[in-house]
Structure 1
Amino acid sequence: MDIPHRVQVDNTFTFAGSPKYPRSMGPLIRLLLHRGVEPWFIPPSDPWRNERFNGFYQQSFLGKVEMFSVDELKNGSLAFEKRHNTT
């Protein structure tokens, strides 16, 4: 699998800074930026967005669609995302 263009992460200190320096970049964010990957943070106080979508994705797509290659997964996942984001 390739390196993604974007990665969605929680907005905890694990990913973005520390209690002492809350506006600094954590090691993961530095690595992503160094590799040309755009980090996307879920909005503050909305951690349910990540878990909620992942559960829905698992139940509605990964649990129902049989795939036999990375290309099938990629194409099916992009189509699912498009349907999800337009409804």
Structure 2
Amino acid sequence: MPTPSDLPPTPEQISKSVRTLLADVLQRPASEVDLTQRLTALPGMDSLHLVQTVVTCEKQWSIQLDEEELFDVRTGDDLCTLIRRTANAQEDTL
């Protein structure tokens, strides 16, 4: 029987974690991070911060995000959706 840590993350867990991660990377309060906003429009966001965010997300959930799909990520919500889809697909292959 799988334990809670063996289950794929919930959308709420992913959103909370991505918001917190972006806040840490951008050195802003999490309450100021709007996941519906374009990532490139977040104050202080640059390409290095984006790469750091993706790498940290991959490590946190032990996943590998598809590079081609990452090109379609525009908002924090898009990133959360890709993480959830990738984690669920990985769970299905186990």
Q: Same fold (TM over 0.5)?
A: no
Kindly indicate which of the two structures has a greater share of residues assigned to strand: 1
Which has a greater percent of helix?
Answer: 2
- TM-score, normalised to structure 2, is 0.30
Q: Which has the larger radius of gyration?
A: 1
